[in-house]
Amino acid sequence: MSIYDFTVKMPDGQAEAMEAHKGKVVLVVNTASKCGFTPQYKGLEALYRQYKDQGLEILAFPCNQFGAQEPGDAQEIQNFCSLTYDVSFPLAAKIDVNGTDEDPLWDYLKQQQAGLMGSRGIKWNFTKFLVDRKGNVVARHGPQVKPEALAKDIEKLLAAAA
């Protein structure tokens, strides 16, 4: 099993197969527009622009589970990201990353890479999972890890064959 076995919902309600990202390095992030970590959108966009032509994909999953910091609908979230941070990487539909309604992809990500001291649950917005070109979840980073700190790991994964 890999991330390619999942389908995610996009803001327009359409389903997108994760298989569409096969052969790419993927950074999966749960995001929020009204969080202290929200400025990380700038770093995520910088990574995306720097590495997208080499095979990096960033997928943002807005989530309102932490302090109700993503209250908007899909259009409001898209507008905020575009106007405030010039985000050009894909945003998925708003999801839950924990609990009974958690998105199946996020359940899988958490099974593949535990957090601090083996915890599975997502603790806050801007938790990041790094996936190699073969669909393997290779790293999990907490919100305090800034996107630019992942550049070296991304470069190594991009250099590896699919």
Compute the average pLDDT of residues 8-32. Answer: 95
- In the chain, the number of structural domains is 1
Tokens at 69, concatenated: 């910091």
How many Å apart are CA 103 and CA 21, to the nearest integer? 18
pLDDT at 114 over 90: no
pLDDT at 123 over 80: yes
DSSP class per residue in 25-48: EEEEEEE-TTSTTTTHHHHHHHHH
- What share of the chain in percent tops pLDDT 70? 99
Q: What is the pTM of this model?
A: 0.95
Angstrom CA distances, 57 to 60, 88, 91, 118, 130, stand at 10, 11, 11, 27, 10
Compute the average pLDDT of residues 95-117. Answer: 93
How many Å apart are CA 115 and CA 40, to the nearest integer? 20
pLDDT at 115 over 90: no
User: Helix (H, G, I), strand (E, B), or coil: what is residue 73?
Assistant: coil
**Model confidence over 67-100: pLDDT tens digits?**
999 999 999 999 999 999 999 999 999 999 999 9
List the catalytic residue out of 3, 35, 137, 154.
35
| 53 exposure class (CB count in 10 Å sphere: 0-12, 13-18, 19+) | exposed
Is position 81 annotated as part of the catalytic site? no
Residue 96 belongs to domain spanning: 3-18+25-159
Type of residue found at 132: D
CATH value at residue 136: 3.40.30.10
pLDDT tier, 162 (very low <50, low <70, confident <90, very high otherwise): low
